[in-house]
């Protein structure tokens, strides 16, 4: 057996079809992870180059789009695409058509950055968050913009946010997406409600695990009501690691949240972590291990895995699907290369400057 044959055998389970539910079946278990590229135009409309970029990667079992802001005040990075105007919907439709033409499936990742939004992007106004707690630092790619103290959202704000998440999901389906992944991870708005460091409310949206889970579940339920549970997924970060400081009480929040999510029969649950070798004392180890122990439905792992280590994790039932990030930037034909046991092109940061 030569090297290529051995590598193919090591990853064979990645190429078995996988049914998310009765509505959506994936050709393989390799997902393209959401990758922020900041390549939309100045009106946050997806471009022709983006359609070509996604279309070339359609061999993934499922593409999860780069994070897409649900409304103007959700923007925290330059030139991140939106899904709240007709022009943006039309732009995304060209992308979903390119992916479907090449035999792929794609979910839209719905995003509001919460307290790491910046009013520079939406002509002033309030930065919204669960509590009026500033995060130190500045906007990536625009270091001259430092973060602002947010406004603690009112009940009226929360009502509008939930409606706008649901409308963005409906817009995604109109644009041809196969479903949506709600971005509830990585220190952004929904995640900010789920951690004590960023949520110090004492009303029905804070103070205890049930209240702190309420906003996330309200968004999930509103989207399910609009587009169906089989087209609704969620990304979460039980381990606080990005723009949030961990608190041992956070585990109690996710102890409450995970059984509630399991009842909702989501398309999948996706771990939000940059490096899944990270361990969290209050979770008893890795975030993915904690979630797997408390959630029995379809789980997506991510965070530094190769095809080989991801295949091994799936074989050991650590999760059901594996999401691959930067290697997909460097290798549009990533799935073919892995299937054939071919050498991968190494990712470099210079590749972020263009869409290929």
Q: Which residues are catalytic?
A: 188
Q: How far apart are CA 162 and CA 168, in angstroms?
A: 10
Give the whole-angstrom CA distance, residue 276 versus residue 305.
8
Length of the chain: 356
Q: Which helix (H) or strand (E) holds 235?
A: strand 232-236
Please identify which residue in the block is written with the tokens 């650590």.
318
- 328: which strand partners? none
| CA pair distance 238, 229, nearest whole angstrom | 22
* Helix residue ranges per DSSP H, the chain: 3-10, 48-55, 86-101, 155-174, 189-193, 209-227, 250-263, 287-294, 307-315, 326-330, 334-340
What distance lies between CA 226 and its chain's CA centroid?
A: 19
> 15 burial class (0-12, 13-18, 19+ CB within 10 angstroms)?
middle
Cα-Cα-Cα-Cα torsion 259, 262, 264, 269, nearest 10 degrees, comes to: 120
């Amino acid at each position: 057996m030569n090297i290529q044959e051995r590598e193919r055998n090591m990853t064979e389970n990645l190429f078995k079809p996988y049914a998310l539910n009765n509505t959506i079946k994936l050709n393989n278990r390799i997902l393209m992870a959401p990758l922020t590229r900041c390549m939309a135009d100045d009106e946050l409309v997806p471009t022709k180059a983006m359609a070509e970029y996604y279309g070339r990667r359609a061999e993934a079992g499922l593409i999860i789009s780069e994070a897409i802001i649900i409304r103007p005040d959700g923007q925290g990075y330059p030139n991140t695409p939106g899904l709240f105007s007709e022009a943006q919907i039309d732009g995304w439709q060209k992308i979903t058509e390119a992916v479907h033409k090449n035999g792929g499936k794609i979910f839209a990742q719905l995003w509001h950055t919460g307290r790491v939004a910046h009013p520079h992007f939406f002509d002033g106004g309030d930065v919204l968050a669960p509590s009026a707690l500033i995060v130190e630092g500045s906007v990536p790619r625009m270091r001259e913009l430092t973060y602002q103290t947010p406004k603690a959202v009112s009940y009226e704000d929360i009502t509008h946010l939930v409606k706008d998440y649901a409308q963005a999901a409906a817009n995604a389906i109109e644009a041809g997406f196969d479903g949506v992944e709600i971005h509830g991870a990585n220190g952004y708005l929904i995640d900010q409600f789920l951690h004590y460091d960023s949520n110090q409310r004492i009303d029905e949206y804070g103070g205890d695990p049930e209240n702190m889970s309420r906003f996330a579940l309200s968004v999930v339920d509103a989207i399910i009501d609009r587009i169906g549970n089989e087209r609704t997924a969620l990304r979460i970060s039980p381990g606080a690691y990005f723009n949030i400081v961990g608190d041992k009480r956070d585990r109690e929040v996710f102890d409450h949240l995970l059984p509630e999510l399991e009842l909702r029969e989501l398309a999948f649950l996706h771990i939000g972590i940059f490096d899944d070798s990270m361990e969290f004392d209050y979770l008893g180890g890795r975030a993915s291990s904690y979630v797997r122990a408390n959630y029995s439905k379809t789980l997506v792992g991510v965070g530094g895995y190769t095809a080989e280590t991801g295949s091994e994790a799936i074989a050991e039932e650590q999760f059901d699907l594996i999401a691959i990030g930067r290697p997909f930037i460097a290798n549009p034909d990533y799935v073919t290369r892995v299937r054939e046991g071919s050498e991968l092109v190494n990712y470099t940061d210079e590749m972020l400057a263009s869409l290929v």
